[in-house]
Structure 1
Amino acid sequence: MTSATTMTAALPVEHRERLMQIARHVSFPEGTRLFEEGRHADRFWIVRTGTVALDLHVPGRRAPVIESLGHGELVGWSWHFTPHVWQLGAEAMTPVRAYEFDATTVRAMCDADPEFGRAIAVWVGRVLAHRLHAARTRLLDLYAPYGSGER
Structure 2
Amino acid sequence: MTSATTMTAALPAAYRERLMRIAREVSFDEGTRLFEEGRHADRFWIVRTGTVALDLHVPGRRSAVIESLARGELVGWSWHFTPHVWQMGAEAMTPVRAYEFDAATVRTLCDEDAEFGRAIAVWVGRVLAHRLHAARTRLLDLYAPYGSGSR
Give the TM interval when normalised to the shorter protein. Answer: over 0.9
Q: Distance in 2 between matches of 1:70 and 1:150?
A: 23
Aligned to 1:55: 55
- Note the aligned Cα RMSD (angstroms): 0.3
Cross-structure match for 1:84? 84
* Equivalence for 1:125: 125
Find the counterpart in structure 2 of residue 67 from structure 1.
67
1:26 and 2:26 correspond: yes
Q: How many residues align?
A: 151
C-alpha displacement of 1:83: 0.1
The letter for the 1-side match of 2:113 is D
C-alpha offsets along residues 79-116 of structure 1, whole Å, 9 cap, x if unaligned? Answer: 00000000000000000000000000000000000000
Residue 97 of structure 1: aligned partner: 97
Q: Secondary structure at the match of 1:71?
A: coil
TM-score (norm 2): 1.00
Write the letter of the residue equivalent to 1:5: T
Runs of 4+ in 1 over 4 A off after TM superposition: none
Percent identical residues? 89
User: What is the letter of the counterpart of residue 146 of structure 1?
Assistant: Y
Counterpart of 1:7? Answer: 7
Partner Cα separation in structure 2 for residue 33 and residue 60 of structure 1: 21
| Partner SS, residue 111 of structure 1 | helix
Query: Which residue type is aligned with residue 128 of structure 2?
Result: L
Counterpart in 1 of 2:145? Answer: 145
Question: Which letter maps to 1:82?
Answer: T
Are 2:112 and 1:112 aligned? yes
**Letter of the aligned partner of 2:60 in structure 1?**
G
Distance in 2 (alpha carbons) for counterparts of 1:55 and 1:107: 25
SS in 2 for 1:31: coil
Unmatched 5+ stretches in structure 2: none
Instruction: Give the distance between the partners of 2:8 and 2:77, measured in 1 at CA.
Output: 16
1:150 is displaced (CA, Å) by: 1.3
Structure 1 unmatched runs, 5+:
none
